[in-house]
């Protein structure tokens, strides 16, 4: 994914971005690449210790909501200082830890490792496609934001409700919609940086990281449902 980040930055520069946008985009992509390291570390700790597996679905959701929103608030509050970078890295470690519950389940499949790599590769391909589109689309996409936000809120509410409903059909619908919504969010968030709508690279990294995280999680879940091999 690092090669994709560098290629996308070079393409953006050649398309004549302002110096400020170039700087924010460059810093965003580098911090985004660095943020994957604590994510992997958090996931490894979670899988190795099984700490998330000991929690029920309800408790896990409460920990996730409290930790994620608390750390995101901390990132945004300190986005203009180096503290914001450390807060972001702490957030990505936490998100990796939260992801370990799903990874543990996927690794129970005989082909679990290949499913994870396929999801990683697929997410990287989606990111590269959305980032490339963001550099060539001249149209202002700022109007997409409110619709995507509403879609994300609906997905979160329905996801919480489905903890109790346990509907397989609803889960599949949510996963497919989540991939669509957060892929579009990826395009929107990168375009905001390119157009100068987002001038803080820490905030930009947080937004794009969440897009990538949700696409990866949704894709991995779908691969596990349809491609998991228990034999």
Mean pLDDT of the chain: 88
The count of other CB atoms within 10 Å of the CB of residue 156 is 13
pLDDT number for residue 227: 82
Whole-number Å distance between alpha carbons of 216 and 116:
9
- Encode pLDDT of 89-134 as tens digits: 999 999 999 999 999 999 999 999 999 999 999 999 999 999 999 9
Whole-number Å distance between alpha carbons of 76 and 131:
23
User: What single string gives the DSSP state of each residue in 48-90?
Assistant: HH-TTTTS-HHHHHHHHHHHHHHHHHHHHHTTTSHHHHHHHHH
**Token pair 């989606």 in the structure block, residue:** 126
Contact by Cβ (8 Å): 123, 209: no
Q: Which two tokens stand for residue 53?
A: 């597996």
Instruction: Judge whether residue 62 has pLDDT over 90.
Output: no
Global pTM value: 0.88
4-8, 16-20, 127-131, 150-154: which is most confident: 127-131
Whole-number Å distance between alpha carbons of 12 and 140:
16
- The pairs formed by 74-80 with CB atoms below 8 angstroms and a separation of 24 or more are 75/202, 75/203, 75/206, 76/203, 76/206, 79/200, 79/202, 79/203, 80/200
Spell out the residues 6+ positions from residue 41 whose beta carbon is closer than 8 angstroms to its own. Answer: 93, 96
For the chain, give the longest Cα–Cα distance.
55
For 108, list phi and psi in degrees, rounded to 5. Answer: -75, -20
Whole-number Å distance between alpha carbons of 11 and 15:
6
Whole-number Å distance between alpha carbons of 225 and 231:
14
The CA-atom distances, in angstroms, between 177 and each of 26, 124, 132, 193 are 30, 18, 22, 25
Whole-number Å distance between alpha carbons of 146 and 153:
11
pLDDT number for residue 220: 95
Whole-number Å distance between alpha carbons of 81 and 97:
25
Contact by Cβ (8 Å): 214, 46: no
Kindly indicate the confidence band of residue 14, based on its pLDDT and cuts at 50, 70 and 90: very low
Domain boundary assignment for the chain: 2-227
């Amino acid at each position: 994914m690092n090669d994709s980040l560098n290629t996308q930055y070079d393409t953006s520069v050649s398309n004549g971005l302002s110096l400020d946008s170039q700087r924010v985009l460059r810093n965003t992509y580098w911090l985004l690449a660095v943020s994957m390291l604590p994510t992997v570390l958090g996931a490894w700790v979670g899988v190795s210790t099984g700490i998330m597996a000991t929690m029920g679905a309800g408790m896990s959701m409460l920990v996730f909501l409290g930790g994620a929103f608390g750390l995101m608030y901390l990132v945004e509050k300190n986005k203009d200082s180096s503290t914001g970078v450390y807060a972001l890295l702490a957030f990505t470690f936490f998100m990796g830890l939260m992801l370990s519950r799903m990874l543990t389940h996927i690794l129970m499949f005989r082909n679990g490792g290949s499913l994870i790599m396929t999801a990683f590769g697929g997410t990287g391909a989606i990111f590269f496609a959305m980032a490339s589109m963001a550099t060539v689309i001249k149209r202002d996409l700022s109007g997409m934001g409110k619709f995507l936000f509403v879609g994300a809120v609906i997905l979160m509410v329905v996801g919480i409700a489905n903890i109790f409903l346990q509907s397989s059909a609803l889960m599949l619908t949510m996963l497919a919609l989540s991939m669509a919504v957060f892929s579009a969010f990826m395009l929107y968030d990168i375009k905001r940086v390119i157009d100068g709508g987002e001038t803080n690279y820490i905030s930009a990294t947080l937004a794009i990281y969440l897009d990538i995280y949700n696409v990866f999680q949704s894709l991995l879940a779908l691969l596990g449902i349809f491609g998991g091999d228990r034999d």
